[in-house]
Chain A
Amino acid sequence: MEKQYILSVLVNNHEGVLVRISGLLSRRFFNIISIVAAQTEDPAITQIIIVVQGNEDVIDQVKSQLEKLIDILHVKVLDRDTSVVREHLMIKVRSTQGQIGALVDIANMFKAGIMDVTGDVIILELTGDSHTLDSFIAILKPYPILKMIRTGCSAMSRGEEEAEKKKSPN
């Protein structure tokens, strides 16, 4: 059965790491839904959050195989229930004079920011969980939406971080 998983992968900030990870995932027929590669408190180390869709019988193997790769320090499969999961959205809509007020109301309702107004084209920004972003986009559909950029999840487990950086060499 196919399910969605959030992989939190800690890696050495070396060229080509992303290629190795995405190559391995596609070889195991895991579809990559989103990738966020983020700087951490240590500039030599990058945290990559990957949302994948794949066979639940294979996810443990994928985790082990990822951990075998030389530049990968640690792989965690995050549980949405015990993690904070956020996405960032920028959305460009067209609005006429009469609609501006309604747009501002929507923005306020969602605590979205208005980033730019150029002529009748407005860019809004929102950070939140996936459902909130889904609702926001749905409400804005009629405007119409000229362009949308949705980053994909960044995620962090709640509470203490398990000792992550040491891993047995392969």
Chain B
Amino acid sequence: MRLTGAQIICECLLEQGVDTVFGYPGGQVLNIYDALYDYTEAGRIKHVLTAHEQGAAHAADGYARASGKTGVCIATSGPGATNLVTGIATAYMDSVPLVAITGNVPCSLLGLDSFQEVDITGVTIPVTKHNFLVKRIEDLASTLRDAFYIANSGRKGPVLVDIPKDVTAAVYDFKPVPPKSTEITYPMDGEELNRVLYLLHSSKRPFLYAGGGVVSCGAEGELAEFAERLDAPVSCTLMCQGGFDQTHPRYMGMLGMHGTKASSLAIKECDLFVAVGTRFSDRVLCNAGNFAKGKPIIHIDIDPAEFNKNIHIAAKLRGDAKKILRFLCEKMERQSHREWMASVAQWKEQYPLAQPAPAPGAATPKEILETLNRLTDSNAILTTEVGQHQMWAAQFYTFRRPRQFISSGGLGTMGYGLGAAMGAKMACPDRTVVNIAGDGSFHMNLNELSTAAKHNIPIIEMVFNNQVLGMVRQWQKLFYAHRFSQTTLEKTTDYLKLAEAFGIKGYRIACQEDIEPVLTDALRQEVPVLIECVIDRDMNVLPMVPAGNSVEEPLLTIEDDRQ
């Protein structure tokens, strides 16, 4: 059939199984939005109009993380496109499959400083897996297909497709083509495999560490089985919360800057470190020089550029975590390390995560999150912003399934969570979706509350209001002699009035006894909800490994020195 470029874009989206997009119109995408009109009116594609393009990018990202499908966002040229950049970079750092479609000025106007023109492909080169500028209508369909393939194959990531307006108006033949399979079989290196099996079989105190790659390829079942066969304790990165059932006795908590004491003892005492689908972020290594010092590290990952990047490894297996773990389960003899597992269990019991209340009757993040966990039966999807609340969310909610914890780990983008929560709710309408935010992060992208209200996306926005930029302030306490430079926010925002102004329901948790009744009522609502939680400003995220220290020696307390 002969279609316009704009129609080809819509058809390609359908071809790829896309039924939801997030975006914001503008001059150079008028044709695209005109074509999209037929699809949205017919209910074939849902379009969520956000308040800002950044919200659209984060929503597409949250959608992708919650569903495992590709997130799609659309923006116009110039400022529309540049407004996507933070969201694209967020997806890039966390390997999230995203396709961002931007309009651009017609080809004849490119490079002439035209109105709303930006070299968005140039700008996004370092923060995309790949990007394209489609100059000819003949290339449009194949480029979009390539974009989806690249976003979803190997190590996933965002791809941007920039389309000048005249290409969206041009007409060309279109024939639907089933999407190419993104399954890739990587050859297994026999020598490395032997080395891996040898290390696994000869280890007496193995430590199993799982990262975002496990969630990305749906390997939670294989991870659980492998952990049983290896008889090892399991720790998960921030990106893998829920990749292993956290109620399971094997689970040790996170490892790294805000990891548990139990996992830091385990890495100290282990004799083998097995890392699956993780990139050894500096937040985990803390000090690369003495991370798992003297212990062999086995690294299983789909991206060979990660091998020996941040830390020296003893053996590596390149490929899909799901396939490799399944293969290892077949090849590896069942191990038994009863004494080791008993030690780990003992450490878990000896060093539980604690958070004392600053004053009697005060609401603590721990109690709020644990109550939320209980009331949602550990089955809600939590998105977060960035900061102390993000760490508390990871620590105090119990994640049992993958794709339950959606957080900007690599880039640490404040303002990510609200958009992401909307995307997650669009992907999983039957699940409770809660965004955990701090007052700082909340104020960055609160405009998206209008989107939640308008589209009736019933997310719960929980603002842990401690009046300060908590995480930065914690560092200022430890390293800058309590010089709280620009971290005392003390916003005069009236959150309940703000909720009302946006047309959503507002609640306030002012003290401990408010927690249960407010959460119970809020969880019943079928409209978007904002809950302000009053939190003491001097609560800390603990344990903490200060910069440069060894991951084996976390601080369990911080002297507050309130003079």
Contacts and interface: CB of A to CB of B under 8 A. Distances in A.
Interface stretch (A46-54, A63-71, A108-116): A63-71
Contact of B308 (A27, A60, A69, A70): A60
By secondary structure, the A interface counts as: helix
A80 interface: no
A163 interface: no
B195 interface: no
A170 B126 contact: no
Given A23-B125, A169-B154, A170-B155, A70 B130 contact: yes
Contacts of B184: 168-169
A55 B308 CA distance: 15
Contact of A61 (B154, B155, B305): B305
Contact of A64 (B129, B150, B304): B304
B305 A67 contact: yes
Nearest to A19: B125
Interface size class of A (residues with CB under 8 A): 10 to 19
Given A60-B308, A168-B184, A27 B126 contact: yes
Contacts of B150: 70
B303 A68 contact: yes
A12 B309 CA distance: 26
Interface string A123-144: 0000000000000000000000
A87 B540 CA distance: 61
Interface string A1-25: 0000000000000011001100100
A64 B304 CA distance: 7
A69 B155 CA distance: 12
Interface in A14-48: 15-16, 19-20, 23, 27
Contact of B305 (A15, A64, A70, A71): A64
A23 B124 CA distance: 11
- For the complex of A and B, the 9 pairs showing the least CB-CB separation, nearest first, are A64-B305, A70-B130, A170-B154, A65-B305, A68-B305, A169-B154, A169-B184, A169-B153, A23-B125
Given A64-B307, A65-B305, A168-B184, 12 more contacts: A16-B121, A16-B125, A16-B133, A19-B122, A61-B309, A67-B304, A68-B305, A70-B130, A70-B150, A71-B130, A168-B318, A169-B154
24 contacts: A15-B133, A19-B122, A19-B125, A23-B126, A27-B126, A60-B308, A61-B308, A61-B309, A64-B305, A64-B309, A65-B305, A68-B303, A68-B305, A70-B130, A71-B130, A168-B154, A168-B184, A168-B186, A168-B187, A168-B318, A169-B154, A169-B184, A170-B129, A170-B153
